[in-house]
């Protein structure tokens, strides 16, 4: 019969777009767009696209890799795809977004450390809010 599901611990390691400002979030979304374009050029990941009705994107991305058209790949990852796969918000709102996406599903979410140490205070607040399981409005 297998093991009881209560003996498992689910850890969410998602790609997210966050930062201090909306411009930071937009920049991170563009980075995610490029990463997803490369990821979804691989057939093993196409089932995720199929769930949303984007089954034609995987083969199209794969064809661009074969043609070495790397710069064109991100054009096939539109904002709807980013909205479906990448939780996105400023530090002030990312905890609420993560709670909406994953609340009740997991007790552990990996969170990217900021590249800029000037964001450490906001980052600490986000981590504390995630650890407490609370909604966050910094």
* 98-117 confidence digits (pLDDT tens): 999 998 888 788 888 888 88
The alpha carbon dihedral of 20, 113, 108, 38 has a sign of: positive
Contact present, 103 and 114 (Cβ < 8 Å): no
Give the residue among 47, 44, 1, 79 at the shortest CA–CA distance from 88: 79
- Say if residues 115 and 28 touch (Cβ distance below 8 Å): no
CB-CB contact of 12 with 100 (8 Å):
no
- The whole-angstrom separation of Cα 130 and Cα 116 is 20
Question: What is the value of pTM for the model shown?
Answer: 0.85
CB 17 within 8 A of CB 29: yes
Q: What is the pLDDT of residues 6-31, one digit of tens each?
A: 777 888 888 999 999 999 999 999 99
What would the pLDDT profile of 32-80 be if each residue is shown by its tens digit? 999 999 999 999 999 999 999 999 999 999 999 999 999 999 999 999 9
Q: What is the pLDDT of residue 136?
A: 45
Q: Which has the minimum average pLDDT: 1-5, 65-69, 95-99, 123-127?
A: 1-5
């Amino acid at each position: 019969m297998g093991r009881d599901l209560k003996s498992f611990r689910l850890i969410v390691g998602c790609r997210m777009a966050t930062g201090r400002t909306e411009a930071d979030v937009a920049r991170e979304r563009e980075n995610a767009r490029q990463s997803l374009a490369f990821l979804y050029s691989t057939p093993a990941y196409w089932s995720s696209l199929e769930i949303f009705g984007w089954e034609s994107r995987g083969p199209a991305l794969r064809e661009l890799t074969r043609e070495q058209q790397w710069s064109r790949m991100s054009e096939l990852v539109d904002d709807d795809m980013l909205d479906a796969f990448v939780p996105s918000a400023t530090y002030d709102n990312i905890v609420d977004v993560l709670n909406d996406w994953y609340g009740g599903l997991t007790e552990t979410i990996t969170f990217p450390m900021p590249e800029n140490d000037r964001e450490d205070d906001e980052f600490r607040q986000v981590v504390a809010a995630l650890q407490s399981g609370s909604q966050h409005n910094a």
